[in-house]
Amino acid sequence: MAYDQIIEGIANEQFKGLWIVGTNSSHSWINQLEFNRIIKKLDFLVVQDMYHTTETAQHAHLILPAAGWGEKEGTFINSERRIGLVKKISKAPGQALSDFNIFKLIAHYWGCGEMFKDWTSPETVFQILKKLSRGQPCDFSGIEDYRMIDDAGGIQWPAPSPKLDFEKERRLFEDGVFYHTDGKAKFLFDQPREMPEPPCEQFPFLLLTGRGTSSQWHTQTRTGKSAVLKQLYPENIYVEINPLDAKNLCVASNEMVSISSRRGKIQARVFVTPTVRSGQIFIPMHYAATNHLTFPAFDPHSRQPAYKACAVAVEKEWKTN
C-alpha cells in the first residue's frame, strides 16, 4: 500500500499498529495536523530511528534506537543505480543497534526467527538479494561479494556477469531497448487536471514549498543539531513574498504575517524578494509548521503528495499596545 493509503487505513481503524523506520512523518507528511490526529488512533506506534528527539518519536509507544552511517555495514543503491558499500568504523552508542540486528531480534521475539536463519550477516542478506535479482531488469547477480564492490568503487546494475570489463559509468537504455516485449518505451500519462485547490477570494495566494538553504536538510533531524549549520539559515520560519504583494499587504522584510489555509494557521517572518511571482508565496519545507497548511492531494499513479500548491491567505500581524 502507498503511504497515503496506510494513513487512510489508520483513520478507518483498519490498522491498529504502525512501525516507522528512519522517517519523520509527524514533520514531513502533508496536512500535518490531520496526520498527527490520525496516528493517535493507533494502539501501538513504533519508531526506529537514530534520534529520539524527532517529532514522530515524540508520539511513539516504543522507540527502537538505530545505528547510523559508519556504525553499521551494508550496501545501498543510489539514484544512478550504483551499489555502494558502507563500512562500520565506530561502535553504535548506548543501546543502538543496526537495522539488520533489530529486524533479526524482533523476528526472534515473535517466534519466527527460523525464517531468518540464513541472515547470518548483512553480506549474506546481500547474497540473497543478488539471487532474487537474477533475470530482472535490476540484475546484479554478477557481483561476487562486498570486496568486489569495494575494489570497483561501486557497481551499477545491471551487472549479470562477474566480468567487470564495462565502463564504470553506464547510461541505461542507451541502446534504445526498453524492458517490454516489443523493446519500446511506454509512457504513463494523464490529461492535465485542474489544480485541486486553486486560490480564491478567501484564500487568494498560492503557497509553494521546497528547499530553503543548502544548510537545511528535510526535517532538520540532523542539520538542526549542528551549531555551524544553524548559523547559516534563519532559526524561525520565514515566508518569501513578491514586492508588489508586500506593498498591497503593507508589509516589509522582517515584519510578521499570519498565513492560513483551510487546514491551519501559522505565523512567519517576511522576506520580500522578486524571485517569487506576484500571487504566490514560498515557505521552506524544513520548518515543522509549513505542513500545517499543505493540501493532501496525491498523484493517482505514484501516490506522490502535491506539496507544491495550496490556497492560502496572508495577513499582516498588527502590534497592539
**What is the rounded average pLDDT of the residues 253-273?**
96
- Going by pLDDT thresholds of 50, 70 and 90, the confidence category of residue 252 is very high
Q: What is the mean pLDDT of the chain?
A: 92
Q: What is the pLDDT of residues 129-146, one digit of tens each?
A: 999 999 999 999 999 999
Minimal CA–CA distance to 6: which of 29, 59, 180, 130?
29
CA gap 192, 287 in Å, rounded: 31
User: Considering only 126-130, 278-282, 285-289, which range has the smallest mean pLDDT?
Assistant: 285-289
Q: What is the pLDDT of residues 76-107, one digit of tens each?
A: 999 999 999 999 999 999 999 999 999 999 99
Q: Greater confidence, 166 or 185?
A: 185
What per-residue confidence (pLDDT) applies to 215?
Answer: 84
In the chain, what are the domains? 3-65 (3.40.228.10), 74-156 (no CATH), 205-316 (2.40.40.20)
Q: What is the pLDDT of residues 211-240, one digit of tens each?
A: 888 888 888 888 888 899 888 888 899 999
What per-residue confidence (pLDDT) applies to 284?
Answer: 94
Q: What sign for the dihedral angle of Cα 187, 192, 193, 195?
A: positive
- Going by pLDDT thresholds of 50, 70 and 90, the confidence category of residue 189 is confident
Record the pTM: 0.86
